[in-house]
Amino acid sequence: MSTRTDSGSHRAIVVRSAHDGAVAAIEQREAPQAGLGELVLDVQHSSVNFKDALAMSGRPGVLRSHPMVPGIDAVGTVVNSDDPHWPSGQTVILNGAGIGERADGGLAERVVVPADSAVRLPSGWSTRSAAAVGTAGFTAALSVLALRRDVSADAGDVLVTGAAGGVGSFAIRLLSSLGYRVVASTGRPDDQGDRLRELGAADVIHRGELSDSGGKPMQKARWAGAVDSVGSTTLVSVLAQTSYGGVVTACGLAQGPDLPGTVLPFILRGVSLLGINSVDAPHEKRAEAWQLIADTLDEAAVTSIAPQTIGLEEAIGLAPDVLAGKVAGRVVVDVAR
């Protein structure tokens, strides 16, 4: 139950060290103070992303200092601001922008966020639905925007790797809603296949078709484009199987950060590899991505990807399952619970 007070004392998940094991705990914190260009938010909902699970498990490389509050998503109401664009009472969305990494994040009842990275909650949307989309859906939207500039819906099959995860799930829904024929790649086709088809995938393949393809620098062209959140040898195979003039967006490294391939797909087929950075995206890209989300998705679609809502304490316990790949889709955190 929430213990937030009028003076701003509030609950938060706090990570005090970078060591494997149970290092995250609920603490009571004093009111944060906003600086120039910042907003103080009363957070209603956040989510558990892979980065958040790493941070709560004490893995190094996510939180830049300690103690710190994890949570790269925050949806809440402006408490105070020196920016006339963000009056008190305005509900806003924050994805990335350094929160939960360089500064305290959204797994708290109150947080300070950069004003220039905030996006207004779309009309008719709940704070829960916006948090359900979160960084995963925002990243998927940035990927789709980049891909569709050069790949039309009638160009051929579009591949989504890591399809059972949050980015993959939203990419499937967005692309299929825009008329693309989507092929989903997952390591769990037997238990996730039906769900991925319900999201809009026309076909589901096992990720082994990509990761075990032999590593040939050029392979039979299969994809007009792709959204990849896996990296490493899977991304190399995707590039090798992409048709002339195709576009592949890269937004993750679930398999690894290496890219052990060649330049041949780029110079023989004119394939484009576009990097997607959701953390430092400027405001205009954030607004464009959220406009695509609002125009394309409805609450039922979002709920199908993120049916579960948990409280702060449960978020800590969920982290190991997220890291082990046992959580499909998205999980929303009601910070008042």
Residue 1 lies in a domain: no
At residue 233, the pLDDT reads 94
Q: Report which of residues 309 and 211 the model is more confident about.
A: 309
Residues 157, 268 within the same domain: yes
Residues 63, 144 within the same domain: no
Predicted TM-score (pTM) of the model is 0.93
158-160 and 182-186: which strand pairing?
Answer: parallel
Residue 131 lies in a domain: no
CATH of the domain at 176: 3.40.50.720
Would you say residue 8 has pLDDT above 60?
Answer: no
Residues 256, 179 within the same domain: yes
At residue 328, the pLDDT reads 81
Residue 296 lies in a domain: no
Range of lowest pLDDT (20-24, 28-32, 290-294):
20-24
Residue 321 lies in a domain: yes
Residues 212, 163 within the same domain: yes
At residue 193, the pLDDT reads 96
Residues 235, 156 within the same domain: yes
Residues 162, 238 within the same domain: yes
Q: How far is CA 303 from CA 166, 299, 336, in A?
A: 12, 6, 20
38-47 and 91-95: which strand pairing?
Answer: unpaired
CATH of the domain at 116: 3.90.180.10
Classify 260 as helix, strand or coil.
coil
Residue 112 lies in a domain: yes
Arithmetic mean of pLDDT over the chain? 93
Separation between Cα atoms, residue 162 and residue 166, nearest integer Å: 9
Q: Residues with Cβ < 8 Å from 204, sequence gap 6 or more?
A: 163, 183, 184, 185, 186, 189, 192, 193, 196, 197
Would you say residue 192 has pLDDT above 90?
Answer: yes
Contact of 184 with 204, CB cutoff 8 Å: yes
For the chain, give the percent of residues with pLDDT over 70. Answer: 95
Would you say residue 336 has pLDDT above 60?
Answer: yes
Q: How far is CA 212 from CA 34, 232, 263, 302, in A?
A: 50, 12, 20, 33
Residue 289 lies in a domain: no
Residues 225, 312 within the same domain: no
Residue 22 — pLDDT band, cuts 50, 70, 90?
A: low
Q: What is the mean pLDDT of residues 216-228?
A: 95
Residues 317, 271 within the same domain: no
Residue 302 lies in a domain: no
Residues 151, 116 within the same domain: no
Residues 176, 58 within the same domain: no
Residue 290 — pLDDT band, cuts 50, 70, 90?
A: very high
Separation between Cα atoms, residue 144 and residue 226, nearest integer Å: 9
Residue 174 belongs to domain spanning: 136-275
Domain boundary among 275, 291, 316: 275
Contact of 143 with 171, CB cutoff 8 Å: yes
Q: 49-62: per-residue pLDDT in tens?
A: 999 999 999 888 89
Residue 170 lies in a domain: yes
Count of domains observed in the chain: 2
Residues 92, 162 within the same domain: no
Domain boundary among 275, 290, 323: 275
Q: What is the mean pLDDT of residues 234-245?
A: 97
Range of lowest pLDDT (150-164, 166-180, 203-217, 323-337):
203-217
Domain boundary among 275, 294, 322: 275
Q: 9-18: per-residue pLDDT in tens?
A: 899 999 998 7
At residue 285, the pLDDT reads 97
At residue 242, the pLDDT reads 98
Residues 70, 179 within the same domain: no
Sign of the dihedral defined by the CA atoms of residues 50, 51, 55, 58, in that order? positive
